[in-house]
Structure formats: C-alpha cells, structure tokens
Amino acid sequence: MANRQKTFDALCEMHGIGVVAVSTAATAGFDTGGGYTEGKLVIDVTAVSTLSSLDQFEILLQGSPTSTFTTWDTLTTLHLGWMYSAIADRMGGDPGTVVRSSTATYPGPTTLPVRFVIPFCNDYAGTVYRWLRMYTCMGTPSTGINYYAFLTV
C-alpha cells in the first residue's frame, strides 16, 4: 500500500474516527471557495459491523450551495455490505437484488483496515457546489461502521 499513499491536509478532513451507528450527516461542511474542484475522496474503513454479510452502508459525498445543506445533491457514493435493499427500493427493483460485492462479508474483519480512493468533482449536472459534506446512511446495523475520510488531489 506504500505506493497508494495520499497527501493529507487537516483542513480537508471530512469525517473523523468514530463509530457511526445510525444514519447521520457530518456536523460541518467543507468550503471549496466556490470554484470548480476535483480530487480524490479517501475513505479508510477501520471497523465494520460484525454482521457485515447482512448490514449495509452507504457513505455519500454531498454538495450544496450553502453551508446549511437545505438543498443538496450526492456527488459520489460508496456502497458497503453485500446487498443494499434500499437502493433496489428507490430504483423500483425487488429488495435484495442489488449485489454490491461478490464477497458476502466485504469488508469484513480479515480485510480491515481497507482504503477506498474515489475520484470526485463538485460539479453536478452543470451546478458547481461550494459546500461538501459526508453523509452515512445505513439500516439498523448490529454495531455500525468506523471510518476516516478526507479530500486530497
């Protein structure tokens, strides 16, 4: 993993270490300054529910024109867990038919910690969003998920 290291700036931290056990938005947003921004969202998952074959998680990077996030769009999403029924529901499919990984327990205890590096930009359908935040979405997990997230180039 040494060749996959990313530059870290504390000002670009999006989510600190801590167990997330319910769906929740980050308490603070990141101000891009208003211009077009692109880079990488780095998510380091350090712990995940012991029932990762049944629990599902979405970690979303959202953009908004204001720091209050009264309106927002999801810029990118990381799906974790084997199946994500809520996505199937939103897409009109049968719950349990959207398979996100061929390994039922991914990421499980044997694969942790694991790093995901996801490209992003703050332009969504022609709208450039000034503010960015993380949102963690889940059902009712047995324990939750612990991850650290930051933006980098």
Instruction: Tell whether 72 is covered by a domain.
Output: yes
Alpha carbon 34 to its chain's center:
22
Q: What is the pTM of this model?
A: 0.79
Instruction: Tell whether 32 is covered by a domain.
Output: yes
- E strand map for the chain: 13-15, 19-20, 24-25, 30-31, 38-48, 57-64, 73-80, 114-121, 123-124, 127-128, 131-138, 145-152
- The predicted structure's pLDDT at residue 85: 45
- Enumerate residue ranges in the chain where pLDDT < 50: 1, 84-99, 102, 104
CA distance 108 to 1: 18
How many domains is the chain partitioned into structurally?
A: 1
The CATH number of the domain holding residue 146 is: 2.60.120.1110
Report the percent of the chain where pLDDT is more than 90.
Answer: 33
Instruction: Tell whether 5 is covered by a domain.
Output: no
Instruction: Tell whether 6 is covered by a domain.
Output: no
- The predicted structure's pLDDT at residue 113: 84
Domain range holding 24?
A: 17-152
Instruction: Tell whether 2 is covered by a domain.
Output: no
Instruction: Tell whether 44 is covered by a domain.
Output: yes
Q: How many CB atoms lie within 10 A of CB 132?
A: 24
Instruction: Tell whether 10 is covered by a domain.
Output: no
Instruction: Tell whether 3 is covered by a domain.
Output: no
Q: φ, ψ for residue 108 (rounded to 5)?
A: -110, 180
